[in-house]
C-alpha cells in the first residue's frame, strides 16, 4: 500500500538515494556499502556459506580417523567391497545469480530508504561480498515491463553497471488513473527463468518482499515456492525479504487513503479505530509468517531486511551466523577424530 497525503511531521529531510544524480548515487552507495561491510570483504569465501567443495572429482579408499562418514561413496564401496569416500574439488570460482523484484510494491517506503532502494543496497552488498578473481555475477530484474537480463560477468565495472541500471530504472509510482499499472511478470516466472540459465552450481539470491501471489489460505503454498525449491536442490539460495514498518502496523493518523500500487485500487481507512489497527497488525504478522514458512520449506536461507533497521548490522550478523554454521561440521569432525 502507498500512503497519500502530506509527509508526516518530523520526517527526515536529508537527501536519499533518489535525490542524487546517477553517478553521485552510485559513488555514495559504493562508499556506504564498503564501509559498512569492512571486515567481511577480506578473504575469499564460496558465497555466503563457505564449504570444502561441491564438484565430484572421483573416489578413494576410506581412511579411518581422517575422513567423514557422510562422504562415503556407497556405490563404489558396494562394487569393490572396500570402503571408499568421494573426493571433491574446492570451488575456486563462484557464479552468483540475482533475481531482483522491481515491481510496484517495492516502491513503497516510510523510512530513509524505500523498499526498492533497500533492495539495491542488498544487491550491492551481495556483489561486493561475492567479488573475487574469476567469480561472476548475473542478474534478472523483474519489473513492470517484464524480465530484464544481465548476463553473468566478473569485475567491478560490471557490478557498478548493474547497480547504475537498478538506480536509474523507471518507477511505476505515482499511478493515479483508473486503469491499473502494467502487471509485468510474477516472481514464479522470474525464478523459473533463473533456473533455466543457472546451469552450474552456485549462489542464487532473490531480493523481494515476497508478497506476489500469496494465497488467502495460509495452508496453501504460494506460486513461487515450488520454483524456489527447485533452485535450492542444486544451488545455495539466499532469500532477502525486504519490508517496511508501515506494512506491519498502522499508526493512528486519522483518515488516510491507501492505494494498492499493483492494481491501483484505493480505500479510505480511519486509522483512529484501535480494533482496526489490531486486526491489521495481526493480519500482517500472519502474512509475514506465511512467507517465512514458505521460504523454510523451500530450503532457502532467509535474510530479512527492514527499511527502518540498520541493514549493515543485519547483513553482518547473517554472514557471521552462516559462516559459523558452515564451520560447525568440520569442528565436530575434528573433535570426533580426537
Kindly report the average pLDDT of the chain as a whole number. 82
Other Cβ atoms less than 10 A from the Cβ of 322: the count is 19
Question: How far apart (Å, rounded) are the C-alpha atoms in residues 142 and 103?
Answer: 7
**Whole-angstrom Cα distance, residue 311 to residue 184?**
28
CATH fold of 24-46+93-332: Rossmann fold (3.40.50)
pLDDT attached to residue 48 = 54
DSSP 222: P
Angle, to 10 degrees, between the axis of helix 311-337 and the axis of helix 22-36?
40
Average pLDDT over residues 281-307: 94
Helix/strand/coil percentages in the chain, nearest 5 = 40, 20, 40
Q: Hey, where are the domains in the chain? A: 24-46+93-332, 55-90
Rounded to 10 degrees, the C-alpha dihedral 24/29/34/37 comes to 160
Q: Does residue 106 surpass a pLDDT of 60?
A: yes
Mean of pLDDT values over 225-253: 93
Average pLDDT over residues 270-284: 93
Top mean pLDDT of 133-137, 201-205, 320-324 is at 201-205
User: Is the separation of the CB atoms in 17 and 25 below 8 Å?
Assistant: yes
- Other CB atoms within a 10 A radius of the CB of residue 133 amount to 9
- Tally of CB atoms within 10 A around 140: 21
Residue of higher predicted confidence among 319 and 91: 319
Cell digits of residue 262 = 499493483
Indicate the DSSP class of residue 103.
S
50: its cell numbers: 563457505
This prediction has a pTM of 0.77
Binned at pLDDT 50, 70 and 90, residue 261 comes out as: confident
For residues 72 and 292, the model is more confident at 292
Confidence of residue 333 (pLDDT cuts 50, 70, 90): low
Q: How many CB atoms lie within 10 A of CB 230?
A: 17
Residue 17 has pLDDT above 80, yes or no: no
Distance, CA of 143 to CA of 99 (rounded, Å): 11
DSSP single-letter state for residue 8: P
111 pLDDT tier (thresholds 50, 70, 90) = confident
Return the minimum-mean-pLDDT range out of 159-168, 183-192, 240-249, 276-285: 183-192
Amino acid at each position: 500500500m502507498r500512503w497519500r497525503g502530506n509527509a508526516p511531521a518530523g520526517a527526515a529531510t536529508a537527501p536519499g538515494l533518489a535525490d542524487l544524480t546517477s553517478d553521485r548515487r552510485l559513488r555514495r552507495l559504493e562508499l556506504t556499502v564498503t564501509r559498512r561491510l569492512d571486515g567481511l570483504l577480506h578473504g575469499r569465501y564460496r558465497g555466503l556459506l563457505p564449504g570444502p567443495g561441491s564438484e565430484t572429482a572421483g573416489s578413494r579408499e576410506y581412511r579411518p580417523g581422517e575422513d567423514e562418514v557422510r562422504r562415503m561413496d556407497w556405490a563404489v564401496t558396494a562394487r569393490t567391497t572396500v570402503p571408499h569416500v568421494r573426493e571433491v574439488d574446492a570451488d575456486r570460482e563462484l557464479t552468483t545469480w540475482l533475481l531482483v523484484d522491481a515491481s510496484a510494491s517495492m516502491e513503497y517506503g516510510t523510512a530513509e530508504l524505500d523498499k526498492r532502494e533497500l533492495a539495491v543496497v542488498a544487491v550491492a552488498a551481495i556483489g561486493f561480498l561475492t567479488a573475487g578473481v574469476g567469480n561472476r555475477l548475473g542478474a534478472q530484474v523483474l519489473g513492470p515491463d517484464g524480465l530484464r537480463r544481465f548476463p553473468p560477468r566478473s569485475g567491478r565495472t560490471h557490478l557498478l553497471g548493474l547497480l547504475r541500471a537498478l538506480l536509474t530504472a523507471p518507477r511505476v509510482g505515482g499511478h493515479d488513473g483508473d486503469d491499473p499499472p502494467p502487471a509485468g511478470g510474477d516472481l514464479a516466472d522470474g525464478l523459473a527463468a533463473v533456473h533455466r540459465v543457472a546451469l552450474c552450481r552456485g549462489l542464487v539470491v532473490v531480493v523481494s518482499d515476497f508478497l506476489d501471489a500469496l494465497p488467502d489460505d495460509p495452508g496453501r503454498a504460494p506460486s513461487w515456492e515450488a520454483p524456489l525449491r527447485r533452485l535450492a536442490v542444486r544451488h545455495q539460495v539466499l532469500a532477502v525479504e525486504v519490508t517496511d514498518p508501515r506494512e506491519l502496523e498502522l499508526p493512528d493518523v486519522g483518515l488516510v487513503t491507501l492505494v494498492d500500487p499493483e492494481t491501483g485500487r484505493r480505500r479510505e481507512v480511519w486509522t483512529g479505530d484501535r480494533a482496526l489497527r489490531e486486526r491489521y497488525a495481526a493480519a500482517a504478522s500472519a502474512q509475514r509468517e506465511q512467507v517465512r514458512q514458505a521460504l523454510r520449506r523451500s530450503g532457502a536461507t532467509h535474510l530479512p531486511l527492514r527499511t527502518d533497521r540498520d541493514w549493515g548490522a543485519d547483513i553482518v550478523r547473517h554472514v557471521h551466523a552462516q559462516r559459523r554454521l558452515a564451520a560447525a561440521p568440520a569442528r565436530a569432525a575434528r573433535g570426533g577424530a580426537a
